[in-house]
Each structure stands twice: as C-alpha cells, then as structure tokens.
A and B are shown apart, each in its own frame.
Chain A
Amino acid sequence: MSRVVTLKINGQDVSGREDETILQVARENGIDIPVLCYLEGLSAVGACRLCLVEVTGVSRLLPSCVTRVSEGMEVNTESERLQRYRRMIVELLFSEGNHICSVCVSNGHCELQNMAIKLRLDHIGMPYRFPVRQVDASHARYGLDPNRCILCTRCVRVCDEIEGAHTWDIMGRGINSQLISDMHTPWGESETCTSCGKCVQVCPTGALFVKGKSVAEMTKRPDFLPYLAMMRNRKNGS
C-alpha cells in the first residue's frame, strides 16, 4: 500500500497517495492544470508540456502528469512564467498546422480552441508554417485531416493500449513527424484497424472525425475511457 502524503498546491493544503501524480491530486481538489496530450485512462507521455508546474526546491519545471506527489511538496501551477510558456506552446501548435476553426468540424468542441480561449490567446505571435498535408478519407466511416493534428498521440495510445490494434503510430522526425496508419498505408486499407472509432473520440481536435459531420457538428465523447480503464484494473485485480 502506498503511503498518504500531504502537500501544498497553489498554497492550498491537499493530501494524496504517494503513487498519484500532481495532476491527479490537483484534479481531485478542483485545481485545473491545462493538458492536451494527457487523457485519463491512457498512459501519460509528458509530450505537450502544458502541464508543467513549478515545485519549490526544484530548478526544472516538472510535467505534472508524470510527476508523483511527495510529502511536503510545494507546487505552483499558475505562475506568470508558466502562463507565458503555456501560451507560447499553444501558439507553436497553431503555427505548426493549418487550424482554420471557421471551417472545422470540431469548431466549438475543440480542446485546442478551448485551450487558446482559456489562456486568453487573442493572436498568434509567430509566423504560420502552412504545411502541405493530404487528407485521408479512405476509411468508410471516419476521416483523418492531418492539418488539424497536434501529434498528441492519444489516438496512438488508445489504439494500442485499449483496443490492442496499434493501427496508429508516428512516422518521421521533428517537424516532419506525422500520424500514419499501419505501415503508412491509407486508413481505409489498414489491415489492423477494427473501425472501433476510439481514436476519433479521444482526438482533441478535428483531425480525426466521423464522416458526414459538417462544420461544428463533431462532438467527441472520450468519457468512456476512465470506465474502461477502471474495469480493466478491477479485472486484473489491482
């Protein structure tokens, strides 16, 4: 059994189990830390860097989604510096792809868009890169528009960890990274895809969508995940 520890988040006294992360404890106590790659029920990868927090006595910023709580820890999730970095990260994401909300199926239900609003981002301070990316509409029921992909890898993880198909993965390196199905074959020709649609539901933007949805019609429901994860844990006896 893990020990129970007490710590401070933004000056508020909270308690948590030693095997819990800062993010989990913060959420239990109603403290919101912004995330894009993290999704409850999937493994945490610490890739979006939005959930970085300051911990007293540690010179580096720590990703709260993978950092465990410890006794006497003092966490700050809301400093001016963190907010500045978060805004820049979201700006980088907007500049990287082709995010045109007005014509996007996820307009109004998009986690990237909501994040921008939450961080009060009113313009993008760096040049757009305008990459040329092909839409994959080869699947019968779903579509992939990589212009809206932020490479959070939620789809990769849900497909691998929950569905067990591992249809999705990332190809290439650095700024040329891209999401691919199977060995870079069109999604519709994928031999591993079970068409379960979990990837579509966990995708934070309009990159993965259900065909036939028009602008702003694509609402996503990733809430099945915590239940699935919980049932699995129960089945595995942990």
Chain B
Amino acid sequence: MNLEDLHTIAQQHHEADSKLEHILYVCTGTACQSSRSEDVLKAIQAELKARGLEKKCAARPGGCQGLCARGPLANLDHGKRIYQHLTPEDASAVVDSFESEPPERIQLDKQLPFFTRQVRVATQGGGLIDPTDLESYIAAGGYTALLDSLMHKTPAEVLQEVVKSGLRGRGGGGYPTGLKWSTVAKAVQTPKYVIVNGDEGDPGAFMDRAVMEDYPFRVLEGMTLAAYAVGASQGYIYVRAEYPLAVKRLQNAIKQAQKQNLLGSNIGGTPFSFNVEIRLGAGAFVCGEETALIASIEGGRGVPRPRPPYPAESGLWGKPTLINNVETIANVVAIVQRGGDWFASIGTEKSKGTKVFALSGRINNTGLIEVPMGITLREVIFEIGGGIPSGKKFKAVQTGGPSGGCIPEQYLDMPVDYESLTRVGSIMGSGGMIVMDETSCMVDVAKYFMEFSMAESCGKCVPCRVGTAQMYDLLCKISEGRATLDDLALLESLCDMVKHTSLCGLGQSAPNPVISTLRFFRDEYLAHILDKRCPAGVCQMKPEVMEVHS
C-alpha cells in the first residue's frame, strides 16, 4: 500500500457511492446499540432489499453522531436529514422518507445548535465513517498523513508539526504533547514504546470510548505517526475491559491495517516498522495514572510509583515510553495532515484546538460533543446542550470527574480552557461534564466522588488510603446531620493534607470535589451541620441514635 493505492481506493469508494441515490448511516455506538440500533440497521437493510432498492440505496453502520439522548440516530446523505428515536418498526417509514418528509416523531432538526456549533477534529467524520471498514476510513482521507510522512518527512518534521500545534494532553493534565514527544525522541535507549491510554474511568466520561469505537483506524494512524516521530517500534493500547465494543473494533482495525501493510513490518513499503497490541485493564481507575498503567501492562499490580524518573526516560520495561491519551493521539492525524499552524489557529492562546466533552446529568442533549477551546460554559450547556430539562434552575457543572470540581452559575461565561478551569478550582480533566440543577445536593455530590476515590485508591500511600476513607466518613456524617463544626474543620485540614502529600494524581486530586463545593456552596454544608437540614432535599437526616441504658 502506498499513497497512490490510497487515492485509488478512495476514488473507487467515492465512485461507488456516487452511483447510490441515498446513503444512510445508522449509529452503532454503545449508547445507540443499547437502544437497539443494530436491529434498526438490520430492519432498514431488510426493507431496502424487500423493495429491491439495495443497489440504489445503502444503509451502513456508522459511529456516534453525538446526541445520545435522542438515539438511535441515523444520518441520511451526509446531513440532509437526521433521524431520532428509531425503532426497527420505523424501517419502512425511514425508507419512505428518503424521497419525502418523514413523520415528525423520528425527524431531528439538523439546524440544532448541537450540530451546527461543533468543530470536529478528533471525531472528524461525525459518525459517517464505517468504524469496521478500513476502506471507509481511507475514503475519508485516512492514512494519507501517515504514508505521506513516512515517504516525504523526517521524524523530526512530524514532531515539529505537533510542537507547533500547541496540542496539550487531553487526558486531564494538559502537559504539552510536543514536549513529551521530543523528550522520548531524545532518549537514547532502545527499544522505545508508545502507549495509548484508553483507561477512561471517571464517572460521566465516555469521550475516549467513543473515539476508540468510532475511529479505531484514526487511533492506529495517530499511534503510528507518534511511533515514527519518537522512534518507537512497539505500541500498546490499554483499554479497560468494560469497553467490549471498543476492544472489538480496535482488534478488527489492527487486523485490517496489518493486512494492508499499514501496520507491521515495512509499513507502506518504507523501512519503518511498528506493531500494536491491545492490553486489557480490569477497570481500576488508578491505572489511568501512567506509572500504574505501565505496571499493569508489565503484569504487576496497578500501583503507581514516584516520578521522576518519568516514563519518557524509564517507562515500560525500563525503556523510554510515550504515553498519550486516546483523544490526544486522535488529534495528531489532523495536525500532521493539515499542519500545526492550522490546529493552533483554533482555540485560545494557551489551549489550542478542540476538546471532546461528554454531556450528562440534568441536561437536555445528553451526548458527545467536540467544541473549540475557549467556548463558554453557557454556550456548551444552554445552546449546544439545550439547557436544563423540566424548567429547573441550573446550579453547577462538574468537570474533571473525581479529580475536578463543581463550577457554579457565576462562572458560566468563563471560557473553557485549561487555565480558566484551574482558576475556579476545577480541572479540564478528560472531558466529562455533569450538569446539576437545584435538585442536587452539593454535599451529596462531594460524598459520591469521595466514595469513588476511596474505592479506587490503590492503597499504597497512607494519605490517600486512609485519608479518603476518613474524608468519606466525615462527609457521610455531614450528610446525615450528625456532624459538628469541628468535623468540618477536620475535613478541611484532611483535604489540604491529602492534596499535598499523596503519591500520585489520584490522591492529590481526590479532595478537589470537596474543596470546590466548600468554596462555592459552603452554606449547604452549614445547613446540614447547624440546621440538620438538606436544602435540596436529597440527604436523609439520621440524627445520632440515643442509647438508653435501663
């Protein structure tokens, strides 16, 4: 396979498509699958066959189209029409509507801000690429960046584009990707490794899952570009076993790419060789931390170790290792294809490009979006997200999962970028956004996340192991109306201690949900403690049981 072959495949694909009158992509992401989208697809295909239209119209499996709340979704003729809430019984109505208007019930307004306000880079294709078919990806321009780089660019040139793009790690930390790459590229030891971190574990986050499910070839292409730039020969994709569809699609993608010589020895006939293997995680949140992830791949317990040495210097099997998040790697393809300057023109001064967010909680348009950095929270939640259901009042948005914080209403017009979010006590995180309305109790929210951190702590260092458990107990006490102001003071000093003394990022950020809710919603804590009352009416008060001795 070389560049010309790619063009030929793409051309053939486009020619074949142009002979079709209609192409329908039915979302087969996890969310739509759970509402029977595969049956919908089969029913529509059967309907086409029954009407003898299968030569003229095609119904294909596609990736996530974003608006999960309205699923199963389908997209006709690249956005001419979008369908919602499909059932297998709607098959004939859908096929009827190829030429006429469909019933209102299954029609979705394609002019919704949800669709028009997005900018797609990592999720380019918008679900209109068959995730199981390499040719479909090639037809959408896939693998040109890789083969062009292997044939016409030096590794240093590829690296330079990524440095120029200003891309920062999308897993949460926001470390400059170009800097990480150049550190690994500079390391002298060989072999080197590239690891893609797909151990997404925060509650309310499903960005990486969608990218792996819908664009598995893009992940592979990005990895291969990274490997070329830093001089690595072996790659691992670390995926949690809770993502069976992502694993299946990645396995399929690896097989197809190997068959076409886009992965393996002498890729595209060049001297460059690179292999990729999948490693399954057992669903431990701490394994998203890079040193714990490496320990897990090596077959040990998923326990972090102190850094330095950083993985760039001594990582997997003690060798230089590049670890990037799934979304970061997916961005690389577009950066190499269209240039670092193009990517840097999107976003804000210090946060370049776009970010994928998973909208969930009390919001109308639950789903997956990709927006340019610097967009305001208000635009995300009220325009794209469609606001709060049943006329309730917005209270806070939680970003960054158990490592992040809750952002109240007064910051809704703040731009979404790494620095701004940090300034208000939250973090960008991997991209989960949980919207809360007046019926959510902030003490309860903090308790929920602390329970998560406590359960996911690996137990290696004392502050995180015992500190999270003590903090959780204190939060339970507060939420049940049994706490005193002394308990609140102890909670605050524990937050400070655990944040500054824990070994890895999990412990260091575990107090964040408590710190941020205390900062903006202290009155709710005080209502629980002093008035024994939960203002949102969520917490059940259990005043101390009196022991009576007879």
Whether the Cβ atoms of A95 and B466 lie closer than 8 Å is yes
B78 within 8 A of A: no
A172 and B286 CA atoms in complex are apart in Å by 13
Q: How far is the CB of A180 from chain B (nearest CB, A)?
A: 12
Whether the Cβ atoms of A47 and B466 lie closer than 8 Å is no
Whether the Cβ atoms of B459 and A92 lie closer than 8 Å is no
The A122-175 residues at the B interface (CB cut-off 8 A) are: 125-127, 129, 150-151, 170, 172-175
Q: Residue of A at shortest CB range from B306?
A: A46
Residues of the B chain whose Cβ atoms lie less than 8 Å from the Cβ of A173: 284, 455-459
Within 8 Å by CB of A85, from B284, B465, B473, B501, lies: B501
Residues of the B chain whose Cβ atoms lie less than 8 Å from the Cβ of A177: 458-459, 465
Q: How far is the CB of A33 from chain B (nearest CB, A)?
A: 14
Whether the Cβ atoms of A49 and B455 lie closer than 8 Å is no
A106 and B502 CA atoms in complex are apart in Å by 28
B124 within 8 A of A: no
| CB-CB under 8 A for A63 and B466, given A49-B501, A85-B497, A125-B490 | no
A236 within 8 A of B: no
Residues of the B chain whose Cβ atoms lie less than 8 Å from the Cβ of A126: 470, 490, 494
| CB-CB under 8 A for A48 and B466, given A85-B500, A89-B501, A126-B490 | no
The B474-524 residues at the A interface (CB cut-off 8 A) are: 490, 493-494, 497, 500-503
Whether the Cβ atoms of A175 and B501 lie closer than 8 Å is no
| CB-CB under 8 A for A49 and B466, given A170-B459, A173-B457 | no
A52 and B498 CA atoms in complex are apart in Å by 13
A60 and B459 CA atoms in complex are apart in Å by 21
Residues of the A chain whose Cβ atoms lie less than 8 Å from the Cβ of B503: 46-47, 49, 63
Whether the Cβ atoms of B501 and A151 lie closer than 8 Å is no
Question: How many B residues have CB within 8 A of the partner chain?
Answer: 30
A172 and B301 CA atoms in complex are apart in Å by 10
A88 within 8 A of B: yes
Q: Residue of B at shortest CB range from A172?
A: B459
Q: Residue of B at shortest CB range from A152?
A: B462
Q: How far is the CB of B170 from chain A (nearest CB, A)?
A: 23
Interface residue ranges, B against A (CB under 8 Å): 284, 301, 305-306, 454-470, 473, 490, 493-494, 497, 500-503
Q: Residue of B at shortest CB range from A68?
A: B308
Whether the Cβ atoms of A46 and B305 lie closer than 8 Å is yes
A210 within 8 A of B: no
Whether the Cβ atoms of B463 and A49 lie closer than 8 Å is yes
A90 and B233 CA atoms in complex are apart in Å by 46
A48 and B490 CA atoms in complex are apart in Å by 21
A95 and B503 CA atoms in complex are apart in Å by 20
Residues of the A chain whose Cβ atoms lie less than 8 Å from the Cβ of B456: 173-174
A51 and B257 CA atoms in complex are apart in Å by 50
A127 and B466 CA atoms in complex are apart in Å by 11
Tell which of B455, B457, B460 has the most Cβ of chain A within 10 Å: B460
A95 and B455 CA atoms in complex are apart in Å by 18
A60 and B494 CA atoms in complex are apart in Å by 17
Residues of the B chain whose Cβ atoms lie less than 8 Å from the Cβ of A125: 490
| Beyond known contacts A126-B494, A172-B459: 10 more, CB 8 A cutoff | A46-B503, A47-B462, A47-B503, A49-B461, A49-B503, A89-B462, A92-B466, A170-B459, A175-B465, A175-B466
| CB-CB under 8 A for A174 and B490, given A46-B305, A49-B501 | no
Whether the Cβ atoms of B305 and A174 lie closer than 8 Å is no
The A92-119 residues at the B interface (CB cut-off 8 A) are: 92-93, 95-96
Encode contact with B along A43-72: 1 for CB under 8 Å, 0 otherwise: 001111100100000001101001000000
A172 and B459 CA atoms in complex are apart in Å by 8
**Which 7 residue pairs spanning A and B have beta carbons closest together?**
A177-B459, A174-B457, A92-B466, A46-B306, A175-B469, A96-B466, A49-B501
Whether the Cβ atoms of B501 and A92 lie closer than 8 Å is no
Whether the Cβ atoms of B469 and A174 lie closer than 8 Å is yes
Q: Residue of A at shortest CB range from B464?
A: A174
Q: Residue of A at shortest CB range from B507?
A: A49
Tell which of B284, B305, B465, B469 has the most Cβ of chain A within 10 Å: B465
Q: How far is the CB of B433 from chain A (nearest CB, A)?
A: 27
Residues of the B chain whose Cβ atoms lie less than 8 Å from the Cβ of A49: 461-463, 501-503
Whether the Cβ atoms of A45 and B460 lie closer than 8 Å is yes
Q: Residue of B at shortest CB range from A50?
A: B462
A52 and B503 CA atoms in complex are apart in Å by 10
